[in-house]
Amino acid sequence: MPGPDGWDDGADATDVARGVPFRPMSISEMLDGAIAGIRRRPRATLGLSVAVSTVIQVTSSVAAYFFIGDEARDEVTPDVLMESLGAQLTLTLLGLVLSAFGILLLAGLVAPILGRELVGMPIGPGQAWRDARPRLGRLVGTAAAVMGVSLGALALPVVPFFLLIAGERPAFAVLAGFFGFPVGIGLMVWLYILFVQAVPAVVLERQTVGGALRRATTLSKGRWFRTCGTLLLALLVTVFMGFFALRIPFLFAQLIFFEDSSGSGPTMGALAVDTVGRIVSWSVVMPFDAGVIALLYMDRRMRREGFDLDLRTRGRSAAAVAGERADAGERDAAEQDEGFIDLWRTGPAHAGPAQARPWTGAGT
């Protein structure tokens, strides 16, 4: 239904030009839209991703280096670093937790980029940072809350296993582990999927941490399995690209230059090469995962609340609606940025005529 300012988002040409279709999306369209967002805005998305990935991977490498102790550091090859199974497991879990936390942070940072792309609004230099900066603290708090709740759910059923191991009751410990680990993993996945949409909500809707978590449960209602399937497909792409394809050249460099060396110097060199490889690979794949999370949130807004229908029924483009709060001739960047955020806010003051009407089209 084209509007007076050219709304015609059912057309394929318009969707291609925008990169993200302004309508409820299929799973494949969300995956494609995340890639399109990176391709259309590489400086914004990859710039944020490199910054987040560098902090995370350098932190992981520093932890890995100091985890092995003075005696091991005096000998070193990359193999010695992971000699202990306990050390390997600890470092792997630390890397996964930090990477998951980074993906959540990046999802909040790229949400304004994809949001502006979705509604056809311009994205100037530094625009994503200006949109996210007022809620940066709450974004960090929300990402930490999602991770904390998920990891807490994993740890709680597993606690009896470790208590029984410490109490030297191996038979009961095996029984507790047999039931505790699957239950813990199941709870962790369920809560993560349930709350993951809180990250874009805290930035785009200017929610509090608690409000964003409640908002996520509302948006996830009745669509948990669809969200899980979408994120699982994104995870498969991430694992293949992040752990294998993009890191192969750096792994070869480690094997060639540091396989038979010993001493703290070669260890630092091997860790440096490995760190650079992880920064490069995760800088590429993290925006993809983050973009999928942001698009899941936007898709749920359109399916559950008719966000796209709301703007269409107003009869104006998103840019015109966002500019209504500023007087003619006085629409500076700050006013237009706040106008963009107003598009996403919920509540009586922001609800449009289509907001109470769920999407009932095909593919829901």
Q: What is the pLDDT of residues 33-61, one digit of tens each?
A: 888 888 888 888 888 889 998 998 888 88
CA–CA dist 274, 281 (Å, integer): 11
| Per-residue pLDDT tens digits for 146-162 | 999 999 988 888 777 77
Tokens 């995370």, located at residue = 56
Identify which has the larger pLDDT, 344 or 178: 344
CA–CA dist 301, 25 (Å, integer): 11
Identify which has the larger pLDDT, 20 or 224: 224
Give 74's DSSP letter. T
| Per-residue pLDDT tens digits for 287-305 | 999 999 999 999 999 988 8
Average pLDDT estimate for 125-136: 80
Inform me whether the pLDDT recorded for 348 exceeds 50: no
Asked if residue 179 lies in contact with residue 172, where contact means CB atoms within 8 angstroms, the answer is no
Packed helices 27-40 and 224-243: angle between N→C axes, nearest 10 degrees: 50
Which residue, 195, 160, 124, is CA-closest to 340? 124
Give 133's DSSP letter. G
Average pLDDT estimate for 337-351: 65
- Please calculate the CA angle 40-42-44 and round it to the nearest 5 degrees: 110
Identify which has the larger pLDDT, 243 or 101: 101
| Per-residue pLDDT tens digits for 261-285 | 554 555 677 778 888 888 888 888 8
Q: What is the pLDDT of residue 16?
A: 44
- Confidence band, pLDDT 50/70/90 cuts, at residue 72: very low
CA–CA dist 7, 48 (Å, integer): 31
Domain ranges in the chain?
12-344
- Confidence band, pLDDT 50/70/90 cuts, at residue 5: very low
Q: What is the pLDDT of residue 92?
A: 77
At 100, which amino acid appears? A
Most confident of 24-28, 131-135, 167-171: 24-28
Share of the chain above pLDDT 90, in %: 22
Kindly report the three-state secondary structure assignment for every residue of 226-291. Answer: HHHHHHHHHHHHHHHHHHCHHHHHHHHHHHHHHCCCCCHHHHHHHHHHHHHHHHHHHHHHHHHHHH
- Confidence band, pLDDT 50/70/90 cuts, at residue 123: confident
Query: Is residue 212 helix, strand or coil?
Result: helix
